[in-house]
Structure 1
Amino acid sequence: MPNETWEIVETADALRRAVARRVTAHGVTRSQWRVLARISKEPGLRQVDLAERLDMEPIVLCRIVDKLEESGFVERQRDPADRRAWRLVLTAKAAPVIEELHAVAAELAAEAFAGMTPSQIEQMRSALATVRDNVAEGGRNRKALGA
């Protein structure tokens, strides 16, 4: 594995572990946090679409949503266009948890990027976005470049 790929994978793993440690102190798992965060960004998302966005098996997501629903953080609503589908929305009870989790994320970001200038952080974000796009496109950019 090239050093660049290794560094990105190791960094992602370290960030995942740090997130998991911090969010469990707030009563949710890392997976639950991912679900809550995505629903807060895209309220009313269909459960099947959420599974796809999170790269999660639908049955695994269903179990996570079940637990979040039991906790009173998420509500399933019938999709008016498809009776078989569920749309997911956060409840009022989830609002303070979402605020806490945003604070946790901001704190972690401050620690992770300590010593970096805003310009360096923006360059890194841009470079990582390019990497994600290249991987998501299945190497289409390589073909365009004649590689």
Structure 2
Amino acid sequence: MENDLNDFTNRFRTTFELAHRKISQRVLAELNSELTAPQLFMLAMISKEQTPKQSQLAEKLGVKPSAITVMIDRLVQSGHVIRKHHETDRRIVLVENTAEGAAVLAKATEVQKKVIASGLSQLPSDELRIFVSAFEKFTTSY
């Protein structure tokens, strides 16, 4: 049983990583943008956190603030993000997606949905129900 679990674990990891890579590649290719996958992820994090502090992003991603600063610098230069100071404490630097950043993120989200739907449509409906239910169960198990 333990060997089976190890085998399934390895197969799952390999397949999950491959699926993630393929989806990202297709989204980036169809998006036709100069942004990288990590930059798109950063736009999504900024959107989700709603004008976060740079330090908050670093903490969430488990990286040093200097790593976030470099990525935010690039997103500011490309016009996808702006920095602004907190209203009451000017030492706090907040980041926010620009209209251009929000638009490219919305487009990326739609392309991602389309790519995933295309893959899922390859499964017969009974397998699709099982697959999605099992994946939902897996993600709520820890």
Tell me whether the two structures share a fold, i.e. TM-score over 0.5: yes
Task: Considering Cα pairs closer than 8 Å and 6+ residues apart, tell me whether 1 or 2 has the greater RCO.
Answer: 2
User: CA shift at 1:36, angstroms?
Assistant: 0.7
Partner of 1:2: 6
Instruction: Name the one with the larger helix percent.
Output: 2
TM-score normalised by L of structure 1: 0.74
* Residue 110 (1) aligns with residue 117 (2): yes
CA distance in 1, matches of 2:46, 2:20: 19
Partner of 2:107: 100
TM-score normalised by L of structure 2: 0.76
Query: CA deviation digits over 1:75-122, x for unaligned, max 9?
Result: 112234654332221111223211210112102321343314345313
Instruction: Flag the 1:4–1:68 CA change in 2: closer, same or farther, 3 A.
Output: same
Partner of 2:72: 65
Q: Residue 24 of structure 1: which of 28, 44, 53 is its match?
A: 28
Tell me, which stretches of 5 or more residues in structure 2 are unaligned?
Answer: none
CA distance in 2, matches of 1:99, 1:24: 13
Instruction: Name the one with the larger strand percent.
Output: 1
Instruction: Flag the 1:58–1:3 CA change in 2: closer, same or farther, 3 A.
Output: farther
Tell me, which stretches of 5 or more residues in structure 1 are unaligned?
Answer: 134-147
